[in-house]
Structure 1
Amino acid sequence: MPDLSVPKKILELDATALPAEVYDLSRTCLLDLLGVAAGATGIPLTRIAREFVLNQYPGKQPLLFSEGVSSSTGAALYGGWLIDALDAHDGHVLTKGHAGVAILPGMLSLPEIQTLSGRRFLGELAIGYEIAIRAGISLHNSACDYHTSGAWNCLGVAAVAVRMMGLSAQQLAEALGTAEFYGPRSQMMRCIDHPTMLKDGSGWGAMTGVSAALLARAGFTGAPALLLEEPDLWEDLGTRWHFLDTYFKRYPVCYWAQPAVEAALALRTSVPDTEQVEEIRVTSFHQAIRLHTSLPQSTEGAQYSLPWAVACALHRGTVNRQSVTDDLVHPEVLRLSGKIRLCESAEFSDCFPAKRYAMVTIRLTDGRELVSGRFEARGTPGNPIDRNELVTKFHELAQPVLGSAADRLERTVNALPDQPVTELLAQLSPTMPYQDPKESSLSHATAT
């Protein structure tokens, strides 16, 4: 029988009585994730994902920002794929990955979601983040390989799903063990070296976490979760919030590339004309240098390309959705990207993952060199992005898809602590109401 001490602590957390700053951050995360989800509609990965889920996972649960319904597992898979399709969602430096991309779709996929108050919804979202982040830290402390986020955010999904279903500590232990065992321990650096639609494994993480909770409710048993066995990591659950160290992205590219983007933007006003750029040298940490594709052939390649991000920043003065979609054939961005040389700094590599640094040197055709200082990615608690700028980012991504409904969605998220979550749900799917929780496809039988 698995140790139930950590599962009991998880279930004892009161989602309606958390610190005020936790609710504030949860609300910001929710708005940011919804903006990314809206902005990702229409990306090729998303179109393929939707057709696959509708064909292979029939059910009654609505899909996020999409026509059609599927099972809870299918809706979770689609939602995770959708948000992950545009690399602009939040993350956590010590996990080297992302929690919310799976937690939110996992919660939205369950019919129980419609029974929550807005305050409890935000609290459960934060708790899901916290469990996922701690599981991610534990995995990186214990595994010899660097796995995608789906390998650990699936435990956060399983935990919050079990809480929403009102299951027992024993069932939670079984769900966490199942999620850990079946979670996608895919190799992240393979996708960095060869960017494809596999992305960060979070669609599979969301689906695995929901599946694990549904199986636990039906009596399915799982092996004890090894990621719960690091006592120093779990003993302060509920008193310390790793969730509060969540970072936000300003640009829809890998966070490892964003220090170099900031350094390039700092030099941009000193460049008379980008046609005078002869060479761009980027010095950063090892993992960032692995983002080496200079001429990406797909949006996934562009999102995982440090040269492309820097070239777009110099050309446009920003990196936005258009930078990683429509600009793939832009001649000036292609020219600039081809002039970028990547160099690793041992000092910067030693600082990773807690700190991510980059410097940029631009040599002009007249022989002058422009040298930036050392830059860190914006969006961490120590180098934050103002919430007004994050709201601007939300509208940049959501407005082209949702139109004026984006304004209503922002107002609803802001007011969520004081209203039912159903007001939010009504704006997230054009299809139909959520399935009645009593009509779930798997039995409500409890484990013995």
Structure 2
Amino acid sequence: MTVTFDQFAANLTYTDIPQDVLAILRRSFTDTMGVAAVGSTTSMSGLARKAALAVFGTGTAGSSRMLMDGRSVSPAGAAMAGAFLVDSIDAHDGVTPCQGHAGSAVFPALIAMAQSRGKPMSGAEFATYLAVAYEVCYRAGETQHATCEDYHTSGAWTSVGIATSGARMLNCDPEAIRHAAGIGEYHGPRSQMMRCIDFPTNVRDGVGWGAPSGVTAAYLASEGFTGAPALTCEGAGSETFWQDLGQGWRITDYTHYKAYPCCRWSHAAIDSVSYLIAEHGLTHDMIKSVEIRTFHYATRLAGQEPANLDEFTYAIAFPVAAMIVRGQVGVAELTPEALRDPDILRISRATKLIDDDHFTEISRHKRWAQVTLVLKGGRRIEDIPRTPRGDADLPLSDAEISSKFHLLADPVLGSSRANEIEQLSGQFDKLSATDLQRLFTLCTDAT
């Protein structure tokens, strides 16, 4: 029997959530907070937090501390600031069929609402809200991509999942949850993803406005404001994506993790050059040029000479060149000094992106690329076609996730605070209300 999304949201209990889903939520909690830590150092996140303080003062909904900041604003303000903060470093979890990201919006929004609720919340309760938000986000995102011609950012469909889960947190009945989802969908940002890829700026993946839109929708619905139906949840053409709700879980099928802090469309090529360099004992000074066959959207990343972090985020050529020259694409490669590295720039300028029709056709649930290195003597070394590590069928190990977390978090938070966040987030659903509050405090204290 098909369960409607509002019934699913209203009635899901912690014991209904499969263990593999809980394992992913734990991993995403840890991974997202590592990204948030380094995100707190970016100018983009600083501007978002300054704006939140200016326009999102606390009110009768209560106050919430902004992630990695410590200062209090309204729940919507904390959701906005936190989502921009996480999104400022493109290293958070994602969902390939939706061509976007849920965690960068869901965690800031639900942590903000949990703080302002005014009564204790156990880890099991918070896990239930997260499960609702992620699952509704993914299915709404799938529906939107199948029924809309334009490619909208993640903010468009994360606003629906956050509104649905937020309404559940506010004790709304199924009908009010329907209205929350509809309000979130209607007012969520239908922002054009390819515009930000063609012209990279701070607007990024739209979650900075999707998160507060979802939070605001939940509070509106709890007061009786109407907005149903959400077409991505119950409109024409949506049926296929909801028929197994409550039985199958998109969270386990689709969630992926990033090995590198840049757009996932570049990751297959980065993995490929890493393999070729090691396999053939190459050094960057031996390489004349690079050819990357990939799907159409990825060719628009380009990025031979990124001038700032936004342009680096939506690039292929430069991150690939960084891997060739430095053997890594990490925090050090996000700095202004790295963007001026003459060896990286030489390789990046000599990188050609080839729009491949076959890869465009098959890059639906996967992101394909094939790399050829051209050596200075004329020899061509071609790799096999690859998809990025981190997908469900090519998962990053627990050790890799932990290493990534500490690489991002330790320099900002210190090893002691980072260790405690990792320990608590890795079992957050089993925490008492007191310990969950401790985790929230660690995630919202100033860096």
Q: Please indicate, yes or no, whether the TM-score normalized by the shorter chain is above 0.5.
A: yes
Question: Is residue 2:106 matched to residue 1:103?
Answer: yes
For residues 1-150 of structure 1, the aligned pairs below 5 Å read 5-59=4-58, 60-110=63-113, 111-112=116-117, 115-150=120-155
Q: Deviations over 1:351-397 (max 9, x none)?
A: 11212111111111122222111111001111111111011000000
Between stretches 11-20 and 341-350, larger displacement belongs to 11-20
Q: Which residue of 1 aligns with 2:285?
A: 275
Question: Is residue 2:339 matched to residue 1:328?
Answer: yes
Conservation of the 8 A alpha-carbon contact between 2:129 and 2:166:
no
SS of corresponding position for 1:427:
helix
SS of corresponding position for 2:70:
strand
Q: Hey, what's the Cα distance between the residues in 2 that align with 1:22 and 1:235?
A: 19
Structure 1 runs not aligned, ≥5 long: 432-448
Conservation of the 8 A alpha-carbon contact between 2:180 and 2:228:
no
Conservation of the 8 A alpha-carbon contact between 1:75 and 1:105:
yes
Q: Deviations over 1:46-101 (max 9, x none)?
A: 11111111111112310101131111110000111011100001111111111111
Q: Residue type of the partner of 1:234?
A: W
SS of corresponding position for 1:319:
coil
Question: Is residue 2:393 matched to residue 1:416?
Answer: no
Residue 5 of structure 1, CA deviation: 4.3
Between stretches 140-149 and 9-18, larger displacement belongs to 9-18
Residue 114 of structure 1, CA deviation: 5.9
Q: Deviations over 1:152-196 (max 9, x none)?
A: 011111111111111111211111111111110011111111111
Q: Which residue of 2 aligns with 1:211?
A: 216
Question: Is residue 2:318 matched to residue 1:308?
Answer: yes
Conservation of the 8 A alpha-carbon contact between 2:283 and 2:324:
no
Conservation of the 8 A alpha-carbon contact between 2:29 and 2:426:
no
Question: Is residue 2:266 matched to residue 1:257?
Answer: yes
Q: Deviations over 1:107-144 (max 9, x none)?
A: 01112386221122123212210000000000001101
Question: Is residue 2:357 matched to residue 1:357?
Answer: no
Structure 2 runs not aligned, ≥5 long: none
Conservation of the 8 A alpha-carbon contact between 2:295 and 2:359:
yes
SS of corresponding position for 1:109:
helix
Question: Is residue 2:402 matched to residue 1:369?
Answer: no
Question: Is residue 2:230 matched to residue 1:225?
Answer: yes
Residue 412 of structure 1, CA deviation: 1.1
Normalising by the residue count of structure 1, what TM-score does the alignment of the two structures yield?
0.93
Q: Deviations over 1:10-31 (max 9, x none)?
A: 2121134311111111100110
The Cα RMSD (Å) is 1.5
Q: Residue type of the partner of 1:341?
A: K
Q: Hey, what's the Cα distance between the residues in 2 that align with 1:204 and 1:164?
A: 20
Q: Residue type of the partner of 1:32?
A: D
Conservation of the 8 A alpha-carbon contact between 1:281 and 1:343:
yes
Normalising by the residue count of structure 2, what TM-score does the alignment of the two structures yield?
0.93
Q: Which residue of 1 aligns with 2:161?
A: 156
Report how many residues are paired.
428
SS of corresponding position for 1:115:
coil
Residue 426 of structure 1, CA deviation: 2.2
Out of 234, 239, 242, the residue aligned to residue 234 of structure 1 is: 242
Q: Residue type of the partner of 2:23?
A: D
Residue 231 of structure 1, CA deviation: 2.3
1:279/1:271 CA distance change after superposition, 3 Å: farther
Q: Which residue of 2 aligns with 1:185?
A: 190
Q: Hey, what's the Cα distance between the residues in 1 that align with 2:353 and 2:429?
A: 46
Between stretches 310-319 and 361-370, larger displacement belongs to 361-370
Residue 260 of structure 1, CA deviation: 0.5
Q: Residue type of the partner of 1:47?
A: G
Q: Hey, what's the Cα distance between the residues in 1 that align with 2:282 and 2:174?
A: 63
Q: Residue type of the partner of 1:251?
A: Y
Conservation of the 8 A alpha-carbon contact between 1:16 and 1:120:
no
SS of corresponding position for 1:363:
strand
Conservation of the 8 A alpha-carbon contact between 1:155 and 1:176:
yes
Q: Which residue of 1 aligns with 2:411?
A: 400
SS of corresponding position for 1:216:
helix
Q: Which residue of 1 aligns with 2:399?
A: 388
Residue 6 of structure 1, CA deviation: 3.2
Conservation of the 8 A alpha-carbon contact between 1:253 and 1:303:
yes
Q: Hey, what's the Cα distance between the residues in 2 that align with 1:412 and 1:6?
A: 30
Q: Which residue of 2 aligns with 1:173?
A: 178
Between stretches 139-148 and 222-231, larger displacement belongs to 222-231
Identity %: 35
Q: Deviations over 1:289-344 (max 9, x none)?
A: 11112101110100110001101111111111221224111111111111101102
Q: Hey, what's the Cα distance between the residues in 2 that align with 1:368 and 1:113?
A: 66
Between stretches 220-229 and 197-206, larger displacement belongs to 220-229
Question: Is residue 2:257 matched to residue 1:248?
Answer: yes
Q: Which residue of 2 aligns with 1:340?
A: 351
Q: Hey, what's the Cα distance between the residues in 2 that align with 1:249 and 1:399?
A: 18
Conservation of the 8 A alpha-carbon contact between 2:182 and 2:228:
yes
